[in-house]
Amino acid sequence: MEWNLIDKQQEFLKLLERQGKSFNTVKNYKADLQCFNTFLIDKQKHLKMKSFTTTQVNEYSQYLGNKYGSSNSVRRRVQALRLFFDFLMVQNIFPENPLKKMAVSPKVLDNPTPTLLPDVIKTYQILCRRIEETEGIAKLVSMRNQIVFHLIYGAGLKVSDMAKLHLGNVLKDKNGYRVMVDHPKRDPYSIPLPDIFKNDFLAYKTAYQEMLKAQELEIDELLFNANPYRILSGGLSPRGIELFFEEIRKELKCEMTAKSLRQSCIMKWLNMNINHTTIKEWMGVTPAYSLELYVEEWKKDPAKMLFQDLEEA
């Protein structure tokens, strides 16, 4: 069977896009595969592949070890290539995955780098100002972004969790609002939202439903994708959420990401003395997951890591 390595890599990347992988994730996989291509050119002077032997696997391992000082960088590139060979196996190009035998060092967890409280507060203020200063779709998009902000800093949701939420996932109880997460590998669970969420959510829900009615659309997702003129579809892709944070970074001139804002939420829960078992449940991680890195970061400078709900800030 004749096949071209670059063409197959492009097919693999497009498959990742269809699976809903974020723009940055696909870009990283592309860079990781390009590292493999560079290795092949250095060793073989071409990109033609009929096999990938144990000797080549060991050579690639040494190549990565010499090129990258970080074990996590090596691990990521091995994982990218391993998934690519899984893809080739499904297409009956390779009978087995040669990367399965390649040993890599255990993953090293990075210390959390939460967005500091002053920047969290400024972000919320920017969103409130945008809502006041705009109208139509632009106003609704700002209101949607405000809900994204609350879901991350208020409930610690991951980008992948938010993309799938429906309006029905926001629940009201006697203590306020909660968001229910439908996890693919465990039972659904809910996380409480801060009091400040209530008014912003009710205003957003009303404006969102009025816009859907005006545009004769039937959408039940909590978030949406839009151009400057109309709502295009229900749901908001990871890339759409990343674009929101790119705008905030430019305006604040800080390094805020969805991940760093989520880490701020986790620090906030620790400051609220919520027990670790509950925090891990809300994070959607296993009981074996350790919060020690967060605790150690807090101990370095408790005043700097002092996070709280916005209504108390």
Domain encompassing residue 168? 117-312
* Spatial contact of 49 and 5, defined as CB atoms under 8 Å apart: yes
Give me the sign of the Cα torsion angle 52, 53, 57, 59: negative
pLDDT of amino acid 107: 55
Residue 269's CATH number: 1.10.443.10
Instruction: Give the pLDDT of residue 67.
Output: 81
Name the DSSP letter for residue 232. E
Examine residue 110 and state whether it is found in any structural domain, yes or no: no
Largest CA distance in the chain: 68
**Which residues contact residue 92 at a Cβ distance below 8 angstroms, ignoring those fewer than 6 apart?**
1
- Same domain for 83 and 124, yes or no, is no
Indicate the pTM of the whole model.
0.71
* Total structural domains within the chain: 2
**Could you tell me the CATH number of the domain that includes residue 79?**
1.10.150.130
Determine the Cα–Cα distance for residues 224 and 222; give it in Å rounded to an integer.
7
Evaluate whether residue 111 is within a structural domain. no
Phi, psi of 222 (to 5 degrees): -65, -40
Query: Which of residues 49, 76, 101 is at a domain's end?
Result: 101
Q: Say whether both 248 and 212 belong to one domain.
A: yes
133 plus 40 within the same structural domain = no
- Averages of pLDDT over runs of 10 residues in the chain (313 residues) are 85 89 84 90 79 80 78 81 89 84 60 93 95 96 97 94 90 92 81 96 97 95 94 90 90 89 96 94 88 91 90 70
pLDDT number for residue 21: 80
The torsion region of residue 218 among left (phi > 0), alpha (psi -120 to 50) and beta comes to beta
Per the domain annotation, does 163 fall within a domain?
yes
Structure tokens at 138: 């632009």
Same domain for 96 and 152, yes or no, is no
Residue 271: per-residue pLDDT:
93
